[in-house]
Structure 1
Amino acid sequence: MSIVFAITFGLLGVAGLLTMLRIVRGPRTLDRILAVDVLVVLIVAGTAVGMAMSSRGIYIALIVVVALLGFVGTISVVRLVERREEYR
């Protein structure tokens, strides 16, 4: 089973690097916002895999809070960008 966890962490790491590349390269603000949201999802997924690997459920509250903060933050920033582009 440790091979599955290693492969999963490896794939999450590659996805994280590709997401960081999208954050740096852009080209638009909404692309960067979406990439940050994907990065939050990858962090939640990595925490969930680590929790499954250790067979302990002590980080459930952390996962829920980070996922909710990521969702609310993304929605808030998208609305802000939408209003900003509306006035241009």
Structure 2
Amino acid sequence: MAVSGLLQTVLLGAAAAFVVFAVVLVYRIMAGPTMQDRVIAVNGIGTNAVVVLALLAAALDRPGFLDIALVYGLLNFLMSIAISKFSVERGGVI
């Protein structure tokens, strides 16, 4: 199903806004100040990537992007769990 021109523009604009939000989160990764702040920022960037992929799938009529978004979402979740577990085992939790 093809998307109309206006809807495609809105979806691509929303995807661009989420990319800007992800770039803002890079500051939180660099600035910290704690490991938990960095983990949440990385998780936020991963979530934004999933949303951007879903919006691109709808805007460009590419359903394969949804498969990539689902796999990336699962990997993002597992990465957050692994970092959190590593942080707890190393005594990094305040």
Fold similarity call, TM over 0.5: yes
- Give structure 1 stretches of 5+ with no counterpart: none
In structure 2, what is the Cα distance between the partners aligned to 1:6 and 1:28?
34
- Selected match of 2:43 from 30, 34, 37: 37
What SS does the corresponding residue of 2:90 show, helix, strand or coil? helix
In structure 1, what is the Cα distance between the partners aligned to 2:60 and 2:66?
13
TM-score, normalising length: structure 1 = 0.87
Aligned length: 86
Q: How does 1:67-82 map to 2 (within 5 A)?
A: 67-82=73-88
Q: Percent identity?
A: 23
- Give structure 2 stretches of 5+ with no counterpart: 1-6
Structure 1 moving runs of 4+ over 6 Å: none
**RMSD across aligned positions (CA):** 1.5
User: Comparing 18-27 with 3-12, which one deviates more in the overlay?
Assistant: 3-12
TM-score, normalising length: structure 2 = 0.82
